[in-house]
């Protein structure tokens, strides 16, 4: 939306989406309210940067990481990452948080 409001069209918007996903793929929710605010701030900063870069036609190469030429493909593969790669993330986070409680 930010890119559109700054005069970007569909190619720039797709570029901004790729920039955003390349920046924040892998960010997890750890269930801690104070760190949510930090993640929101990081996401907001990433959105501004992603839009600015997209309007300058700058984005990661599809040869790098799990970003694809088409933003729809990047979104689809990010979904696969979340479904398959993060399948046990919640349990791992909970285990870590419970271990901290036992230490205190």
What integer pLDDT is reported at residue 3 of this predicted model? 97
Q: For residues 22 and 50, what is the distance between their CA atoms, to the nearest angstrom? A: 9
Domain total for the chain?
A: 1
What's residue 13's pLDDT?
A: 97
Per-residue H/E/C for the chain: CHHHHCCCCHHHHHHHHHHHHHHHCCCCCCCCHHHHHHHHHHHHHHHHHHHHHHHCCCCCCCCCCCCCCCHHHHHHHHHHHHHHHCCCHHHHHHHHHHHHHHHC
pLDDT score recorded for residue 101: 83
Domain span at residue 26 reads 2-103
Written as tens digits, the pLDDT of the chain (104 aa) is 999 999 999 999 999 999 999 999 888 888 778 888 999 999 999 999 999 999 999 999 999 888 999 999 999 999 999 999 888 988 998 898 899 888 76
At residue 17, the pLDDT reads 96
**Residue partners of 54: CB distance under 8 A and separation at least 6:** 3, 8, 12, 13, 15, 16, 19
Are 62 and 17 spatial neighbours (Cβ–Cβ below 8 Å)? no
């Amino acid at each position: 939306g930010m890119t559109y409001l700054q005069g970007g069209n569909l190619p720039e918007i797709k570029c901004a989406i790729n920039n955003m996903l390349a920046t924040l793929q892998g960010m997890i929710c750890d269930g801690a309210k104070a760190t949510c605010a930090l993640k929101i701030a990081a996401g907001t900063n990433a959105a501004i940067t992603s839009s600015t870069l997209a309007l300058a036609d700058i984005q990661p190469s599809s040869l790098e990481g799990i970003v694809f030429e088409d933003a729809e493909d990047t979104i689809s593969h990010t979904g696969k990452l979340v479904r398959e790669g993060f399948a046990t993330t919640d349990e791992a986070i909970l285990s870590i948080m419970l271990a901290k409680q036992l230490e205190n």
